[in-house]
Amino acid sequence: MRYNSTSSNRAFSRPSFLRGMMGVAFAATLSVSAAHAAEPIKIGLVTALSGQSARAGEALTRGATIAIDEINAKGGVLGRQLELVRRDDESNPAKGLIAARELIQREKVSAVLGGLDTPVALAIVPFVNNSKMPFVVPWAAGTNITQNGAADNYVFRVSAKDSEVDKAIVQFARKTYGTKKPGLILVNNPWGESNEHGLKDAMKEAGIEPAGIEKFEGNDVDVVPQLSRLKQAGADTLFLVGNVGPASQVVKSLDRMGWAPPIVSHWGPAGGRFTELAGPNAKNVIFVQTYSFFGDLSPVGKKVMAALQAKYPDIKGPADVTPAVGVANAYDSVLVIARAIEKAKSADPAAIRNGLYEVDQVNGLIKTYDKPFTKTRHDALSEKDYIWTRFEDNHIMPVAQK
């Protein structure tokens, strides 16, 4: 049998072979690109999903979920769907850091949403900055979370900031109660320290001196000694900073003392089972929020309220959205992140961080955001975005202001 070299070369000529290989490679590239385009863009959420602050964590989840559902129904971002990946920090800084590390290194998220508790957020801050991962905070208010001194700062916030809240606390107390000699009762942790500095500055600016400054531990069950010293010093109002459990112990200690001064608080009591733990006088605590679903809602408010009622059977009306601040801040945060991805034209974390500086015209629940961030300002909200509330029948209700 003879070997036909001419026939063989014609059948397997080099140009034909190369064209075939190029075609296969091109098809493979298209296949990989199509598969990548179909992959969701993951947004991580680190928050308390268990414990006394679980209700706040659930509110953050719901706000983020409603925003993601809304965005995905319109085709997603860059042709890709958004996906929320949650981790429970149990209000523990060490566990919060582990959760953030897992989301970034294992889940490969494009941005991290989270930080319910200031100590948890502060534990995460150095890691996200070193990892060059955008970290958008929808709750924790510690001033130094965003003002963290990093040369390359990846931390942004769509929430209250202690230094601004403290000014609002002082102004509200003076206007509502004629406060002249407030007593400060603060949780002994980084959040309490942040507000101690902020309240001192705000009181100095207002020309008033505190009756005293007292601290309590997060696990204290009796705060009578500290409160007694403030009462003896002539405190006419209490400025309270503490999350659900500690704040409830302050109220119960006041009950044991038979002392009922006005209480103006940061938003810690809103985060969980405050009325259950504090008892009937929980209603005496006035605290700050950034949003309420009561009253004449904007078109965005109406849309989100309808979506909440459709998705969550337990929500029958505005009173059931508790705490509303968690829903609103998380909803707005996701919208801002999505807009940053659009501006960056990329789901790469470093690109998203640059895109956050380019965000414009995001119609959120709290307000319309237009250039909310700059290289020197990483907080999207200000004192003008706060409202005052109290608990009524286990629901957070706006307080009529004078």
pLDDT score for 33: 46
pLDDT value of position 270: 82
Per-residue pLDDT band for 315 (boundaries 50, 70, 90) equals very high
13-19: Cβ within 8 A, 24+ apart: none
pLDDT in tens, 268-285: 888 667 888 888 899 999
Other Cβ atoms less than 10 A from the Cβ of 254: the count is 23
174 lies in the same domain as 222: yes
At residue 398, the pLDDT reads: 87
Of the chain, the percentage scoring pLDDT greater than 90 comes to 77
* Model confidence, pTM: 0.81
Q: How confident is the model at residue 20 (pLDDT cuts 50, 70, 90)?
A: low
Q: Which domain holds residue 204?
A: 161-288
Q: Are 389 and 292 in contact (CB under 8 A)?
A: yes
193 and 251 in a common domain = yes
Examine the domain organization and report whether 55 and 152 are in the same domain: yes
Q: Domain for residue 390, yes or no?
A: no
Q: Are 324 and 355 members of one domain?
A: yes
Say whether pLDDT at 214 is over 90.
yes
CATH code at 67? 3.40.50.2300
CB 326 within 8 A of CB 60: yes
Choice between 56 and 2, residue whose per-residue pLDDT is larger: 56
Examine residue 172 and state whether it is found in any structural domain, yes or no. yes
Q: 37: pLDDT confidence band, cut at 50, 70 and 90?
A: low
What pLDDT score was predicted for residue 35? 46
Please compute the mean of the pLDDT values over residues 349-374 and round it to a whole number: 97
CA distances in angstroms from 138 to 115, 236, 381, listed in the order given: 7, 33, 11
Number of structural domains the chain divides into: 2
Do 257 and 340 fall into the same domain? no
Tokens standing for residue 48: 């308390």
Q: Span 263-272, mean pLDDT?
A: 86
Buried b (16+ CB within 10 A) or exposed e, 227-251: beebbeeebebbbbbbbbbbbbbbb
Confidence (pLDDT) at 394: 77
Is residue 391 assigned to a domain? no
